[in-house]
């Protein structure tokens, strides 16, 4: 597998990314590990790293937060533990216990949430929940970092004797203090502490009257500090006991150290696990800071398809200065594997090139990248860069010589698994001669099927990108009115340098600009002007398209709204009509009932009243039946009409299919095979051109002023070439 050159890492400011990432590590070892990261080419290991970081990054936004992983380093202790008869300090045992407890917590957590964090769970494959390590240490050392009294029977007896002796010393001293005080041998301060021992503050004139050892005196010499004779002997005995205590503690720690020697390999695995988690955490926090995600990595369909890609360092820098950072959409794939970016200076060409390179390095170091989540990426064994003015003072090399030396290295290393990035390709020499040399070098990279991005002002490289099928032009957009950069990459079209326009904007006299135009070839001016015009037209078309899209969306929304209103109005009208008809029937019925009632009041006869009411009800009922039967008849007629219309449409479709079958059956005249030199034109065009070359069912057609690439299916023969 290849190794990414150090020059590439320096050119793309990779180490600054590592410094920013290392700031998020919790432990000093984690920071050091982040700073020593190198891009990987081992695919399986790299993909595991990326998945682990992505899982940790996802944990920041869900309820299953990963527990704290802070730990203390033990690397220096491992070598000591492997030495026979060595003894570890109490502080080391406490670190071992704390690290084991943290490891156990993480192991239990990752086992519980294995579904959420499968890759992080795989980090625990060689580990297990060990309860004996902490239990053993806690049995010897308490939470204050002291060896427990019951750590051994001897220590218990020694400390018991020490406690008893200290009680005797205190009693003896208090007795001597009382005697001297009553005899008025002591100064006002009565007592003090010297060398961690209680002493009497005896007046210098009475020092011979007090039995004991002189431990010191005051600055003036008026006070002599004396240890009473009884406590002096007892303190000597105490020192012997303290020495015995120390020796017993050493024995206990030695036994404890011997207990952990067989656990050395597990402690190393535990330490590596915690360090790995700290590194993954730092990468995940850095991804959170820059908006990093894991793009889809496909090693079969090799492509870089970054959507809304940001340069991470520029993003952070602009964020601090409250400036806008412009994202880029970048596409490289086997059919368009080399991109030639052109356009004016200060338009963002170099930043775009560096963005691709730095994101690739980050991705191959297990870091998430600031792109849209639907982006795609691939991996490379080699990433080669030639960026900036690398004049070598030590080797007395000019810029151009240095760049040629780089090109020699590129030519030796370039293959299908290489990504090359060259800024201002071909500069440093005579434009025509340097451009020609740059062209043949680029053709060589192309023939080796390498992926790459170059930035250039050379017209011949733009033309080459237009002629070769797997190479594509791109330009950084420029506002044609203000002549300010837009910082947006446009694929598929070469960019103008806007040399004279920028010069005019910066106040150069028109006379000088016109004289400059006369000094260069007319064809070059026309070529650059054509590119500039195309860029302006493309920009205008994009704006018009966006405007039409907005209007179309608005019109569609208005149409839907009107249809909804119309449907509601129709429903209301129908309901109003039904209500009106119902009311009319009720009025008529009411009038009839009213007439019947008046006649009843006049003649007071019930039988005619009942008979008329019954007739009225029967009449109303028969009307309703007639109406329902009429509705049913109407629906039946509509269904019949619909069936007939469907049958007619089916007949039309069958006839059309029969016609199509007949057309397919009739033999088509053989197509004329086009060849180099034939005069051709497009089916829907008038301009006639000559075929210069044919490759992969596409022809390069020369129209005199310019050449273009057209599919053979779109061309018709005008005249056979000689």
Query: Quick check: 121 and 111 in contact, CB under 8 A?
Result: yes
Query: Quick check: 189 and 255 in contact, CB under 8 A?
Result: no
Which of 266-270, 296-300, 375-379, 599-603 bottoms out in mean pLDDT, i.e. has the lowest?
599-603
Architecture of domain 150-250: Orthogonal Bundle (1.10)
Q: What mean pLDDT is predicted for residues 26-51?
A: 91
pLDDT at residue 374 in the model: 92
Strand pairing report for 689-695 and 679-682: antiparallel
- Which helix (H) or strand (E) is 329 found in, with range? strand 328-332
- Mean pLDDT for all residues in the chain: 82
Query: Does residue 632 carry a pLDDT above 50?
Result: yes
Query: Quick check: 306 and 330 in contact, CB under 8 A?
Result: yes
- Which helix (H) or strand (E) is 78 found in, with range? helix 75-81
pLDDT at residue 666 in the model: 47
Collapsed DSSP state (helix, strand, coil) of residue 23: coil
pLDDT at residue 396 in the model: 44
Question: What's the CA gap between 143 and 207, in Å, rounded?
Answer: 46
Q: What mean pLDDT is predicted for residues 39-62?
A: 91
Q: What mean pLDDT is predicted for residues 383-412?
A: 71
The first and second tokens of residue 25, run together, are 């590590």
pLDDT at residue 714 in the model: 78
Query: Does residue 536 carry a pLDDT above 70?
Result: no
pLDDT at residue 545 in the model: 77
Collapsed DSSP state (helix, strand, coil) of residue 566: helix
pLDDT at residue 661 in the model: 59
Q: Give percent of the chain with pLDDT exceeding 70.
A: 82
pLDDT at residue 2 in the model: 59
Q: What mean pLDDT is predicted for residues 534-546?
A: 70
Which of 259-263, 337-341, 577-581 bottoms out in mean pLDDT, i.e. has the lowest?
577-581
Q: Rounded to two decimals, what is the model's pTM?
A: 0.67
Q: Specify the fold of 23-146+259-294.
A: MutS, DNA mismatch repair protein; Chain A, domain 3 (1.10.1420)
Upper half-sphere CA count for residue 320 (Cβ side, 13 Å): 5
Architecture of domain 304-498: 3-Layer(aba) Sandwich (3.40)
Query: Does residue 275 carry a pLDDT above 90?
Result: yes
Query: Does residue 359 carry a pLDDT above 90?
Result: yes
Upper half-sphere CA count for residue 584 (Cβ side, 13 Å): 6
The first and second tokens of residue 629, run together, are 């039967």
519 phi, psi to nearest 5 deg: -80, -15
Query: Does residue 298 carry a pLDDT above 90?
Result: no
Query: Does residue 638 carry a pLDDT above 70?
Result: no
Question: What's the CA gap between 595 and 603, in Å, rounded?
Answer: 13
Upper half-sphere CA count for residue 439 (Cβ side, 13 Å): 18
Regarding predicted confidence, which is higher, 720 or 217? 217
Query: Quick check: 125 and 110 in contact, CB under 8 A?
Result: no
- Name the residue with tokens 């007090």: 210
Burial class (CB in 10 A: 0-12, 13-18, 19+), 4: buried
Q: Give percent of the chain with pLDDT exceeding 90.
A: 31
Q: What mean pLDDT is predicted for residues 28-54?
A: 92
Query: Does residue 624 carry a pLDDT above 80?
Result: no
Strand pairing report for 304-309 and 328-332: antiparallel
Comparing CA positions, the residue from 482, 477, 433, 480 lying closest to residue 458 is 433
Dihedral of alpha carbons 648, 654, 660, 666, sign = negative
- Name the residue with tokens 């004797």: 161
Upper half-sphere CA count for residue 533 (Cβ side, 13 Å): 6
pLDDT at residue 38 in the model: 93
Query: Does residue 193 carry a pLDDT above 50?
Result: yes
Residues 477-527: tens digit of each pLDDT = 776 666 666 778 888 777 666 666 666 666 677 677 777 766 665 545 555
Regarding predicted confidence, which is higher, 264 or 625? 264
Query: Does residue 443 carry a pLDDT above 50?
Result: yes
Regarding predicted confidence, which is higher, 431 or 127? 127
Comparing CA positions, the residue from 338, 361, 356, 454 lying closest to residue 6 is 361
Query: Quick check: 721 and 691 in contact, CB under 8 A?
Result: yes
Query: Does residue 227 carry a pLDDT above 80?
Result: yes
pLDDT at residue 584 in the model: 75
E strand map for 208-319 = 212-217, 223-228, 296-297, 304-309
């Amino acid at each position: 597998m290849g190794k990414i050159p150090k020059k590439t890492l320096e050119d793309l400011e990779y180490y600054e990314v590592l410094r920013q990432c290392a700031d998020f590590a919790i432990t000093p070892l984690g920071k050091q590990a982040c700073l020593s990261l190198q891009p990987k080419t081992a695919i399986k290991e790299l993909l595991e790293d990326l998945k682990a970081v992505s899982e940790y990054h996802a944990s920041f936004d869900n309820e299953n937060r990963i527990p704290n992983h802070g730990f203390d380093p033990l690397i220096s202790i491992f070598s000591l533990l492997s030495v026979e008869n060595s003894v570890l300090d109490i502080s080391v045992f406490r670190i071992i216990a704390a690290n084991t407890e943290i490891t156990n917590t993480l192991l239990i957590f990752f086992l519980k949430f294995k579904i959420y964090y499968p890759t992080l769970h795989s980090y625990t494959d060689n580990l297990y929940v060990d309860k004996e390590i902490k239990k053993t240490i806690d049995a010897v050392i308490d939470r204050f970092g002291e060896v427990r009294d019951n750590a051994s029977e001897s220590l218990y007896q020694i400390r018991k004797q020490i406690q008893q002796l200290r009680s005797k010393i205190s009693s003896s001293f208090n007795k001597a203090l009382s005697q001297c005080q009553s005899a008025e041998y002591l100064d006002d301060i009565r007592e003090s502490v010297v060398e961690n021992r209680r002493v009497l503050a005896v007046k210098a004139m009475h020092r011979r009257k007090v039995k004991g050892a002189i431990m010191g005196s005051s600055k003036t010499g008026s006070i002599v500090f004396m240890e009473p004779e009884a406590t002096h002997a007892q303190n000597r005995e105490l020192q012997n006991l303290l020495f015995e205590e120390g020796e017993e503690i050493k024995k206990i720690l030695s036994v404890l150290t011997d207990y952990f020697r067989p656990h050395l390999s597990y402690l190393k695995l535990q330490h590596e696990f915690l360090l790995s988690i700290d590194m993954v955490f730092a990468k995940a926090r850095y991804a959170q800071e820059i908006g990093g995600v894991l793009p889809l990595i496909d090693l079969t369909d090799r492509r870089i398809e970054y959507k809304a890609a940001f340069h991470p360092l520029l993003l952070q820098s602009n964020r601090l200065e409250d400036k806008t950072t412009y994202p880029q959409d970048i596409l490289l794939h086997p059919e368009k594997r080399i991109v030639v970016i052109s356009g004016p200076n200060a338009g963002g060409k170099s930043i775009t090139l560096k963005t691709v390179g730095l994101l690739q390095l980050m991705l191959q170091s297990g870091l998430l990248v600031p792109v849209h989540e639907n982006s795609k990426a691939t991996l490379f064994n080699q990433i080669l860069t030639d960026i900036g003015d690398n004049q070598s003072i030590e080797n007395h090399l000019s810029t151009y010589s240095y760049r040629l030396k780089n090109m020699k290295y590129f030519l030796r290393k370039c293959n299908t698994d290489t990504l090359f990035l060259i800024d201002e390709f071909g500069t440093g020499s005579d434009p025509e001669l340097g451009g020609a040399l740059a062209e043949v070098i680029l053709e060589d990279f192309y023939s080796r099927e390498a992926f790459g991005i170059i930035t250039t002002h050379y017209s011949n490289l733009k033309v080459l990108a237009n002629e070769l099928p797997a190479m594509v032009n791109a330009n950084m957009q420029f506002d044609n009115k203000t002549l300010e950069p837009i910082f947006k990459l446009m694929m598929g079209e070469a960019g103008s340098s806007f040399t004279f326009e920028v010069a005019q904007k910066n106040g150069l006299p028109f006379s000088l600009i016109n004289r400059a135009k006369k000094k260069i070839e007319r064809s070059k001016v026309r070529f650059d002007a054509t590119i500039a015009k195309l860029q302006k037209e493309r920009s205008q078309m994009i704006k018009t398209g966006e405007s039409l899209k907005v209007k179309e969306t608005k019109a569609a929304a208005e149409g839907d709204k009107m249809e909804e209103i119309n449907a509601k109005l129709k429903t209301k009208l129908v309901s109003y009509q039904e209500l009106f008809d119902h009311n009319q029937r009720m009025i008529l019925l009411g009038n009839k009932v009213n007439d019947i009632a008046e006649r009843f009041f006049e003649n007071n006869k019930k039988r005619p009243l009942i008979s008329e009411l019954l007739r009225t009800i029967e009449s109303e009922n028969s009307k309703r039946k007639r109406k329902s039967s009429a509705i049913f008849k109407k629906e039946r007629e509509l269904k019949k009409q619909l069936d007939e219309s469907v049958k007619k449409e089916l007949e039309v479709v069958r006839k059309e299919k029969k016609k199509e079958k007949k057309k397919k059956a009739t033999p088509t005249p053989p197509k004329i095979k086009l060849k180099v030199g034939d005069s051709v034109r497009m089916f829907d065009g008038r301009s006639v051109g000559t075929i210069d070359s044919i490759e992969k069912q596409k022809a390069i057609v020369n129209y005199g002023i310019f050449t273009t690439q057209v599919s053979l299916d779109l061309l018709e023969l005008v005249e056979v070439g000689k």
